[in-house]
Structure 1
Amino acid sequence: MEEEPPSKSWSIHTRREITAKYEILERVGSGAYSDVYKARRRCDSTTVALKEVHDYQSAFREIEALQTLQNCPNVVLLHEYFWSDDEDAVLVLEYLPTDLAAVINSAKKDWEGGITVGEVKRWMLQILRGVDACHRNSIVHRDLKPSNLLISAEGILKIADFGQARILLAPGFLDDGAYDQFAEQPSSNQAAFPQSSETAYRLDGQFPQEHVEKSNEKGVAEPEDLRMCEFRNDGDEESVTHDGVASCLATCTTSDLEDPFHHSYSYEAEEGRVDENGALTSCVGTRWFRAPELLYGSTNYGLEVDLWSLGCIFGELLSLEPLFPGASDIDQLGKIFNVLGNLTEEAWPGCVRLPDYNIISFGKVEKSSGIETCLVNRSPDEILLVRKLLSYDPASRATTMELLHDKYLNEEPLPVPISDLRVPSKHGSPDEGSWNDYEGLESDSDFEDFGPSLVTGTKNGFSIRFS
């Protein structure tokens, strides 16, 4: 029985081109920028997820990233998408019934002995292969967390929710007008989708090779050109290319087609905007998994922000508790410092140049507790794996390729077969455990929760010191 249409005028239920092809069963997720519905494809009864995206930029980013990654086994599959001039984009995705958050919750509450080492390694391998596919295609996800790592009934893990993702470009191409500072509309070196007043776009097979070559000529960065990440590829290529990803960094591009995402309204939310020089925004990612450079306002970052998130995810997979469950950005930094020590020039040369480094300062942590206190009863190799990712200096964080070769993942006990993984039947509840998404700088206004503070004037305006 189909769900009663909500009152919103842009509701998916009013879209005849969609309801003619899909029977909408129920709404399974809802957020500030999208609603997700479970549906059945009428022609063959295949269960799919329909993601109605209410934000233009998020829709564009997700389609662009998923088109690039459409042949990656550990990235969610985009079947097709619907776009019209006066309606929200609707993405037709494969339906995956659960996620890594549910695995962690089930292990914590229901599974005697938690997650076995063999299971942990298999989950880690699948996550690494998915993120490695993103990074080899110059895509930074920017919102990796357990609830965005979806899992099939058979135990196959796939990265989802690319609404905050960006395809990184070579530094010389960021300030040449390729990006509109408000809308990020595609240039000739980005995906251009055929314009139509009301169209469904099928995604069948690889991108045409001529488009791939044309796009690479226009300046999409090869991984080694991404200055902030110094992406290293010094291992055996075939030994890590388990996901069958085509090594194309481009999305299907045609410069002579108009942008279907051009609307009469302007996108005004601060989330995800770029400045006139093409700088990235620091306000991305869910707080508990956000890298320190983002918490300090950096807009000059690369793939390494995903690597920090991986460290937080792996730590939670091993401990069944979030490593740094901050109640605000300031509290988040405090929790990180208590474990890893203060952020100093010794820990990360150049950190004093972070935009907010001299605006908010903390009392010195005399003795940090260390990662090992968060990972009680875990092996030295497991602690070392997490430590390799949770480095203050982004350039020192282990890459996905390096971790795929890490001895921990390649020694006894070996990763269990995917068929032996225990898979919960439902998604982890976003409300359970307060999966707080970033809602803006006002979330940090509640300073009284963090003890005495001293506000002093500086050349930048003011400084807040917490003791």
Structure 2
Amino acid sequence: MEKYQLLDEVGDGSFGRVWKALNKHSGEVVAVKMMKKKFHSWEECLSLEEIKSLRILKHPNIVFLKEVIREIDKSLYLVFEFMECNLFQLMRSRAESFSESEVRYWCFQVFKGLHYLHGKGYFHRDLKPENLLVSKGLIKIGDMGSAREIKSSQPCTNYGTTRWYRAPEVILGSENYNFKADMWAMGAIMAELFIFKPVFPGKDGPDQILKICRVLGSPTTESWLGGFALASGLNYKFPQLPGVNLSSLMPLASWSAISLIKSLCSWDPSKRPSASEALKHPFFHACYNIIPPSLCLRASVNNTTTREEFEQIRSCINRNRIQSV
């Protein structure tokens, strides 16, 4: 770690603390994740899911792992490309909610990253605004610490995803949930981008299901038979609620946005679209075009986007068309 100068702490999670740092040799600004656990061998380090997955995953919408350092004192450091902020911080920095074109722009990039991630055999398991990192108009999936292989034979735990973005099958204790849990999380995130507050803000597991029922309406045996089997195993009964019209909850969202959110937040995981299917939804048809200049110029948290950065974003969007998925 001698070549890095730690500047500011920018995050503190369950497994590590994240610092903004400077490479003293190159002058490059990076993010350094200092793991809280001590690692006694390189084999133990390389068994970490975050390292295993990021050694394989190379995509413009997934944060790039630059280096792994293990010190003599058995401390482990992961060096990432530096991103200006996360999506939650970007929302907090704004006085007004996102326009639909902005929601489309951010979600299009995330779904492209998920399409690649799932195609490589992994799912994230902890998608939330804090784990979507933003810099110069680009958004990348970060914090792969909870990622799992889709084909893993080990049972999944139910504490991977932060509660507000946790799929109902995960809340009800399913041990074989899959990448469709990521799709649920994206539905909740997409809705939050329109209303600037969590759409399912549960206080615990039962309250989380209650909040979901209040918005979507309670599931039926026709809409999600598997959910009733999971609930029966817990001696749990779904509250009987009619739900609300999502258009009234998100009055600024178009019919295509509402349609996509509804499908992503289907009770039955098998009825949720894959990332590839989501990218083909009518909501994203406008992504064939260059994003509005007003969006590019507001993309930076500090509103300091230069003309050069704008041209970079324009070029990036031209490359990031649906055909490239």
What is the TM-score normalised by the length of structure 1?
Answer: 0.59
2:49 aligned partner: 61
After TM superposition, give the deviation of residue 356 of structure 1 in Å. 6.2
Indicate conservation of the 8 Å contact 1:97/1:425, yes or no.
Answer: no
- Pairing 1:42–2:21 present: no
Tell me which stretches of 4 or more aligned residues in structure 1 moved more than 6 Å: 56-59
Question: What is the alpha-carbon root mean square deviation over aligned residues?
Answer: 2.3
2:197 aligned partner: 321
Q: How does 1:192-341 map to 2 (within 5 A)?
A: 278-341=154-217
After TM superposition, give the deviation of residue 359 of structure 1 in Å. 2.1
After TM superposition, give the deviation of residue 423 of structure 1 in Å. 2.1
- Pairing 1:347–2:223 present: yes
Structure 1 stretches lacking a partner, 5+ long = 1-17, 175-277, 427-467
* Identical-pair percentage: 33
Q: Which amino acid aligns with 1:52?
A: M
Q: Which amino acid aligns with 1:321?
A: K
SS at match of 2:32: strand
After TM superposition, give the deviation of residue 376 of structure 1 in Å. 2.1
1:423 aligned partner: 300
Q: 1:340 to 1:26 in 2, by over 3 A?
A: same
Q: Per chain length, whose mean CA-contact separation is higher, i.e. which structure has more relative contact order (CA < 8 Å, sep 6+)?
A: 1
1:456 aligned partner: none
- Determine the C-alpha separation between the residues in 1 that align with 2:296 and 2:287: 18
- Pairing 1:361–2:237 present: yes
- Determine the C-alpha separation between the residues in 1 that align with 2:202 and 2:247: 19
Q: Which amino acid aligns with 1:103?
A: L
Q: Which amino acid aligns with 2:172?
A: Y
SS at match of 1:411: helix
- Determine the C-alpha separation between the residues in 2 that align with 1:50 and 1:358: 42
Q: How does 1:126-165 map to 2 (within 5 A)?
A: 126-152=109-135, 154-165=136-147
Q: Which amino acid aligns with 1:123?
A: W
- Determine the C-alpha separation between the residues in 2 that align with 1:315 and 1:83: 40
1:12 aligned partner: none
Indicate conservation of the 8 Å contact 1:76/1:159, yes or no.
Answer: yes
Q: 1:115 to 1:414 in 2, by over 3 A?
A: farther
- Pairing 1:32–2:14 present: yes
After TM superposition, give the deviation of residue 130 of structure 1 in Å. 1.2
- Pairing 1:104–2:91 present: yes
Q: 1:370 to 1:292 in 2, by over 3 A?
A: farther
Q: How does 1:12-23 map to 2 (within 5 A)?
A: 18=1, 20-23=2-5
Name the stretch that deviates more: 25-34 or 42-51.
25-34
Indicate conservation of the 8 Å contact 2:192/2:199, yes or no.
Answer: yes
After TM superposition, give the deviation of residue 316 of structure 1 in Å. 0.7
Q: Which amino acid aligns with 2:93?
A: S
- Determine the C-alpha separation between the residues in 2 that align with 1:133 and 1:306: 13
What is the TM-score normalised by the length of structure 2?
Answer: 0.84
- Determine the C-alpha separation between the residues in 2 that align with 1:150 and 1:356: 39
Q: Which amino acid aligns with 1:100?
A: L
Indicate conservation of the 8 Å contact 2:87/2:134, yes or no.
Answer: yes
Q: 1:358 to 1:26 in 2, by over 3 A?
A: closer
Q: 1:120 to 1:421 in 2, by over 3 A?
A: farther
Q: 1:168 to 1:86 in 2, by over 3 A?
A: farther
Indicate conservation of the 8 Å contact 1:351/1:357, yes or no.
Answer: no
Q: Which amino acid aligns with 2:148?
A: R
Indicate conservation of the 8 Å contact 2:65/2:79, yes or no.
Answer: yes
1:383 aligned partner: 258
**Higher Rg:** 1
- Determine the C-alpha separation between the residues in 2 that align with 1:415 and 1:376: 25
After TM superposition, give the deviation of residue 390 of structure 1 in Å. 0.3
Q: Which amino acid aligns with 2:281?
A: D
After TM superposition, give the deviation of residue 407 of structure 1 in Å. 1.5
SS at match of 2:201: coil
Indicate conservation of the 8 Å contact 2:61/2:112, yes or no.
Answer: yes
Structure 2 stretches lacking a partner, 5+ long = 304-325
After TM superposition, give the deviation of residue 116 of structure 1 in Å. 2.2
